[in-house]
Amino acid sequence: MELVCPAGNLPSLKTAVDHGANAVYFGFRDETNARHFAGLNFTPEKMAEGITYAHQRGVRVFLALNTFPSPGGFARWQAAVDRAAELNVDALIAADIGVFDYASSRHPQLPLHLSVQGSATNYEALRFFHEHFGVRRAVLPRVLSLSQVRHVIDNSPIEIEVFAFGSLCVMVEGRCILSSYATGRSPNTYGACSPASHVEWIETNTGLDTRLGGVLIQRHPKGENVGYPTLCKGTFCVDNNTYHAIEDPISLNAMELLPQLAEAGVKALKIEGRQRSPVYVTQTTRIWRAALDALARDPDNFVPRPEWTAELGKVSEGAQTTLGAYHRPWQ
């Protein structure tokens, strides 16, 4: 299986390439990609440098152009598609039907992948994108059990990529109505569920308060590690109890399912985290490369090593991991 790793900037891209990624994915420094955070992503010049670095080392590059154009802004997404074709990326990851229509008609030689933002959970949807736009691969949403993933693959006309590690989202793959309500900016069109312009950290006598769009979502005591705030992972008072009322901070880790994913016919494993640091990319890429190599050597006896699990736990949200929707023993 191909290992597809995140690249939020050029150092992350290079360390992913150096530590064993088969492919990296990145985005432009604008609202055309779903990780539109200040200080992240690539100018066309930096992207060209990254593509050259990856291609010289036999690593493929995928461009995430996976937000949804507003009615008056489609020209920006068209221009991004044109730049992607000029830069010679190995695939364009998109979600919007209009973007697919433009890319497939204007640049028929450009390989197209369906983003997880497209929320295609069945093979009929995948067949639609394949027949109408020539889509070659789809990233499945993280809501399917292992048996459902297998069923989609058995009937799909295209390659299937799944998430193996990283942050989870309680919404429909990032389509966050909560964030839109608090900030007035939609992650679907702006590309960030917690825009930096709406985030506040306020020092208090007891620690640090975090607000998004004026909404108090976290109260940190002094000395506590503070992560980037999202509404879904905030703590709220419900019936006089304060807790993670919507979603616990936790990361997906499907390493123990590698033999089953390979047997099911999964083509690629995706590591989430373009908003994370180059250190995170180094650690996750190195560990997952070692795991996939161990699986290839002895698939019948593959077991995740304790040191891999421990290291991945350190870079997981809330220092916790889960099999997520993959594990549904009642099915």
Q: Tell which wins on pLDDT, 38 or 34.
A: 34
Q: What is the pLDDT of residue 105?
A: 98
pLDDT (average), residues 132-155? 96
Task: Say if residues 160 and 129 touch (Cβ distance below 8 Å).
Answer: no
pLDDT above 90 for 189: no
Mean residue pLDDT of the chain comes to 92
Residue scoring higher pLDDT (62 or 212): 62
CA–CA separation, 151 and 148 (whole Å) = 5
Residues 215, 179: Cα–Cα separation, whole Å: 10
Based on the number of CB atoms within 10 Å of its own CB, is 41 exposed (0-12), middle (13-18) or buried (19 or more)?
buried
Full set of structural domains in the chain with CATH:
2-168+250-326 (3.20.20.70), 177-243 (no CATH)
Cα distances (Å, whole numbers) of residue 86 to 15, 32, 51, 206: 25, 17, 12, 53
**pLDDT (0 to 100) of residue 174:** 62
| Mean pLDDT (whole number) for 105-118 | 96
User: Band of the pLDDT at 49, cuts 50, 70, 90?
Assistant: very high
- pLDDT tens digits for range 209-229: 999 888 898 888 888 877 778
pLDDT at 70: 85
pLDDT, residue 107, reads 98
Rounded to an integer, the average pLDDT of 155-180 is 86
Render pLDDT for 294-327 as a digit per residue (tens, 0 to 9): 999 999 999 999 999 999 999 887 767 888 888 8
**AA identity, residue 39:** G
Angle at which helices 74-87 and 44-56 cross, to 10°: 30
The answer to whether residue 275 scores a pLDDT higher than 70 is yes
- For residue 331, the model assigns a pLDDT of 66
pLDDT in tens, 2-20: 999 999 999 999 999 999 9
pLDDT of the residue at 253: 94
Closest Cα partner for 106 from 134, 126, 129, 125? Answer: 134
Residue 38 pairs with which residues in a beta bridge?
A: none
pTM for the model stands at 0.92
